[in-house]
Every structure is written in C-alpha cells, then in structure tokens.
Amino acid sequence: MTESILIIGVGSPYRCDDSVGLAILKQLRLHELHNVHLMERSGEGSDIMDIWQSYGHVILVDAVQSGSAPGTIHRIDANTEKVPTDFFHYSTHAFGVAEAVEMARTLGELPKHVLIYGIEGKDFEIGKEISAEIEKSAEQVVQQILDDIHSIREKELAHA
Amino acid sequence: MKNTKTIKVDYLARVEGEGALFIKIKDNELQDCKLKIFEPPRFFEAFLQGRHFTEAPDITARICGICPIAYIMSSIHAMERILGIEVGGQLRELRRLIYCGEWIESHVLHVFMLHAPDFLGYQDAIQLAGDKPELVKMALRLKKAGNELVRLLGGREIHPINNKVGGFYKVPEKQDFAPLLEELKWAKDASIEAVKVANSLECPDFDQDYEFIALHHPDEYPFNEGRLISNTGLDIDIQDYEDHFEEIHVEHSNALHSIHIEHGNYFVGPLARYNLNYNQLSELTKQVAVDIGYDRIVTNPFQSIVVRSLETVYAIDEAIRIIENYEKPEKPAVDYDIKPGIGWGCTEAPRGILYHRYEIDEKGTIKTAKIVPPTAQNQSRIEEDLSNFIPKYMDLSDEDLTWKCEQAVRNYDPCISCATHFLKLDIERE
C-alpha cells in the first residue's frame, strides 16, 4: 500500500508571482496522481503544521524573495536543512512557512519527509500576472515534483 | 538541472505588502514618528467592479490569509442588504459558528505565536517552544479546534468556499459535529488556562484615552450584526458609516488613515468590543474575568493579550452552545431575486470592524465597491500610541527600541495582508 503524499501550494492568487505555488498545484491537478492530496494554503504557519500532521511525505511549493535571480528554484530538504527565519524579529505579523518548519522541528513534530520548493519571485505587487521567467520555472517544478513522487513510490516498492 | 540550485535562502515567507515605521529622535527627544502601511483593498475595490455580486465573497476572502471569514461575511451581508433578504434561524447560527472558528484561530495564533514571546522575553515563538513545549503544544491544539470548525463549515481543500449570499452551499448533519464537540470541551478548559497565563504576564503601564468603536447587539457579543457604537456616544446603523468616518490621505503613507469625523483617530478590535459589549459576553466568560480579578474597562493596549484570550473563551463557549442546539436546516440557503441597489456590511473581524459597501445593477454586476479593513482604521491610533510610548524608552539601544516599538504595534494584531506584513524600522538619531 502506498503512503499518502501531501502537496501544499502556498500563495495568494492576487499577488502576481506570489501565486506561483497555486499555479503549480493547478498543473498537478491535470495529472492522475494516486494517493496524492493537493491543498492550497495562504501560508499561515500553524495552519500548515496542522494539515501536514498525518502525512509522512510533504512537498510544499511557495514563492520566495531572497535576492537570487527571478525564477531561481530553491530546493530545500527541510529534514536536513534549517529553513532560515532571520527576518522574524522584524516582522510584526508573521508565522509563516519557515516558522512552521522550525517550530515543528523544535516540538519533534516535523513529518518524516518535508521537501520545500521556493521559486524566486520578481513581482509581488497586487495583480494577477505571473512573470514569464517564473512561469518557466513553475513548469520545471511541476516536472520535478512528478519525479519526486515517482521516486517516493519506487522506494516504497523496493521496501515492500 | 539548468536554472536550479540548492541554497539556503534568507527567508521564505509571505511577502504581502510592506509596512514601515520611521522614528526621528533629536537630542533625546522624539521629533517624528510615521507609520506607513501598504494597503491592498484599493486594488480589490477596482478589481471587483464589473464582477458578479456572487463573486465578491470568494474574491475578498483572498485579501487576508488570517481572516477570510470576516471578508466573506462582510461582503455577503452587504449583498443581502441590497437584495432585501434575511438569513435567520440555524443558518444565522452557523454563520456565528464559523466566525467563532475564525476568532479562535486568529486569537490563539496572535496570543501565543506572536504576542506572548514579547512579554516573556523570547525573540520568537520557536524559542518559546524550546523552553515551554507543553504550553505551545496546548496553544497549537487550541488553534486546531478553530481550524477544524472553519474547515467543517467552510471546506477543506482551499480557503473557505462554502459560504454564499443567502446562506451556505452545503450544511452539515448534526452528527458531523460530534468529534469536534468533544475537542471543543477540552478547548474550553484549555482556553481558561490560557487566560490565566496571559493575565500572569507583566504589562508596561500604558493606559491611554481612547475612543473605542465596535458593533453592538442587544442579545449577543458581536460577530455579524449590530449597530456601530462608541464610548463617546456614537450609535449608528452601519449604512451611515461613511457619514461619520472618512479615510484621509496622509503624506507619508500610500495607505489611507481612517478617522472619526470631528473626533479623530479611534480604536477597533478586542479591547473596543470588550469595553462596549461586556454584558453580552457569556456567563462563563464573565466568570473567568471575575475570577482573575479583571477590570470591566481596559485602556492599556498591552492588555489586549488578556482580552483576546477572554474572547477565545467566549468563542469556544458560543461554539459549543450553537453545536449543542443545532438542527440541520431544511434548506442550505434562502432564495432571492436579483435587484439593483446599494448595501453595507460590517462585521467584527478578529482585529476589529471590517466595513464593505457595494452598489450592484439589475443584472447583479458590481458597479462600485469600498472596503475598509480594521488595520487601516487602527493605523492612526497606532501612530499616536507610538508617539506616547517611545519617549519612555529613549535611552534604549536602537535594537531594543525597535523591539519595544514592534511590541506596541503588535498590540493591535495588524493584519498579515489586509494591511501589512513586514515592518521595517528606521530610527534616525541626531
């Protein structure tokens, strides 16, 4: 029996490149994925900690702004790498994806496998358009996620 | 893989608007204090024009990741006022119930993940979790009860989509609530503990002279309906809101500041609701307040952590009452005919009143929309708080002063995307 996989697409549909996580989910919905659950989320951290609780495999996609070239794909294995939360002290209302990972780690509640794709955005203004270079990266991430799902299933078969 | 690298990024988070605080100090005296908050409602007001009125709840729900129910409900009530329909009985109760869920989620998030670390001297909730894991686990479980309530009534996969003009798309069976009811009974006790924890925190002395504004309903603590009242004698129907309040442009901010005409800035949110609606709280909530020896009127904004906790007790108590009395309504929504007109909706978002006004034509197309979120209404008041607060802490280092200012801003639980997300602080000393 296969283990359920949760894929979380984080973003706002009205913040241009910030919606890339939702766009990726939309693409994934076109594929027939067995025992894979797709959820859209706004990115509030404790909500994410709540929905991933019963899953062994979580893949989360979000837009980021870290100073890299727009469209850059950051792939973070949250189980082995810290997700930096340096900005936290200076934010007034933020308990987001990074905090969810680090809080879950502190409490020993991080799912067994958490993989995060961060796509470097360019335009986070209000609006509906995703920048061209970000759309390209989104296609790539869709393929990478399909590959990730495939390799999770392969490993399951090998251990069956 | 072309264009791909695995690196550590500086941060990974929602980047939804930006706020900034500018402080100028000369010869150890505060010269200037400006709060700039970015404001998305202007985009949404334009975006809504030409859309069908039934789309407004779903579109405006996306303005805020923390309080979608408030946006949904304010828009729905405005539309129902245009259409002349009243949603009563169990459907009205279910609307209160989903609002209880949103308050629980939002208040617990703010009290424990954002506000409590300030009082306890932790830089963030992750540090707090390291030292007091049981407290944080309790808070997360409490918040989860709110999440479950919203998901049960609003839908599970994305943001709440089950509410609509006239009622709901689907309503639950009585038995659907059974597991949640058990959890809420646990949550009731946990929330009372949370009040005691919040009340044990040491607050700076900072009582201010505020004009508090909140909805008021004779028979219930306000979520969806009521007249707009204040401690200075205001008592109006929400259709008169724009006769009494105006949004003014201030030079230093691209956001509009709301003011009460001829009165100035004002305060919306938990403190305003509590001070103006104490008698409408449930007996249990009042008893908890009495047991901790709590004041009947609260004018120190740092005390909002206690009032938010009391409101969490109320929301849980009210949710239990509604679920225990629930009987599935025959129809999930009331029928209506489209007609043109103007309508107003004002509901109590966790952080204060959220006002919507719409005009629709005979086909139901939105002609104009106006949205005034709670944070925009508190903005001018926050600035004045800071101006009164900073002089007490002038000797602190820039870093410590920055943190103090953040705490003073955090009292208002400014909304993640209704108004601001990221607060940049800039202190200039001469």
- Rounded-to-integer distance, Cα B324 and Cα B302, Å: 35
Test B402 with A90 for CB contact under 8 angstroms. Answer: yes
Chain A residue at shortest CA distance from B18: A91
Chain B residue at shortest CA distance from A81: B8
Q: Locate B42 and state its tokens.
A: 């202007």
Q: Which residue of A20, A47, A93, A148 is the best one to mutate when testing the B interface, meaning the one whose CB has the most B CBs within 10 A?
A: A93
Question: What does the domain layout of chain A look like in residue ranges?
Answer: 5-159
pLDDT in tens, B333-381: 999 999 999 999 999 999 999 999 999 999 999 999 999 989 889 989 9
Q: Looking at residue B88, which CATH number applies to its domain?
A: 1.10.645.10
- Rounded-to-integer distance, Cα B125 and Cα B135, Å: 11
Q: Which residues lie closer than 8 Å to A121 by C-beta, 6 or more apart?
A: A16, A17, A18, A20, A63, A64, A65, A70, A131, A134, B15
CB B251 within 8 A of CB B35: no
DSSP three-state, residue B21: strand
Is B132 a member of any domain? yes
Superfamily of structural domain A5-159:
HybD-like (3.40.50.1450)
Test B143 with A107 for CB contact under 8 angstroms. Answer: no
Test B140 with A40 for CB contact under 8 angstroms. Answer: no
Test B133 with A44 for CB contact under 8 angstroms. Answer: no
CA dihedral A129, A133, A139, A140 (to 10 degrees): -150
Paired residues of B358 in beta bridges: B343, B369
Question: Which stretches of chain B score pLDDT less than 70?
Answer: 1-20, 36-40, 157-158, 251-255, 415-427
Is B388 a member of any domain? no
Give exposure, B169-201, as e/b (b: 16+ Cβ within 10 Å).
eebbeeeebeebeebbeebbebbbebbebbbee
- Count up the domains in chain B and report the number: 1
Test B8 with A76 for CB contact under 8 angstroms. Answer: yes
- Rounded-to-integer distance, Cα B134 and Cα B162, Å: 34
- Rounded-to-integer distance, Cα B49 and Cα A79, Å: 46
The CA-atom distances, in angstroms, between B230 and each of A116, A155, B153 are 47, 63, 32
Is B131 a member of any domain? yes
Question: Which stretches of chain A score pLDDT less than 70?
Answer: 84-94
Residue B140's identity, in one-letter code, is L
Distance from CA of A29 to the nearest CA of B (A): 13
Chain A residues in contact with B114 by the CB 8 A cut-off are 93-95
- Rounded-to-integer distance, Cα B33 and Cα B191, Å: 37
Residue A99 confidence (pLDDT): 87
Residues 31-60 of A with CB under 8 A from B: 38-47, 49-50
Tell me what ipTM this predicted complex has: 0.89
Residue B38 confidence (pLDDT): 59
pTM: 0.92
Residue B407 confidence (pLDDT): 84
What domain range is B328 assigned to? 65-359
Is B383 a member of any domain? no
Residue B186 confidence (pLDDT): 98
Is B154 a member of any domain? yes
Residue A65 confidence (pLDDT): 78
The residue among B310, B245, B237, B234 whose CA lies nearest residue B271 is B310
- Rounded-to-integer distance, Cα B277 and Cα B280, Å: 5
Test B12 with A13 for CB contact under 8 angstroms. Answer: no
Distance from CA of B238 to the nearest CA of A (A): 28
- Rounded-to-integer distance, Cα A80 and Cα A77, Å: 6
Chain A residues in contact with B4 by the CB 8 A cut-off are 72-73, 75, 140
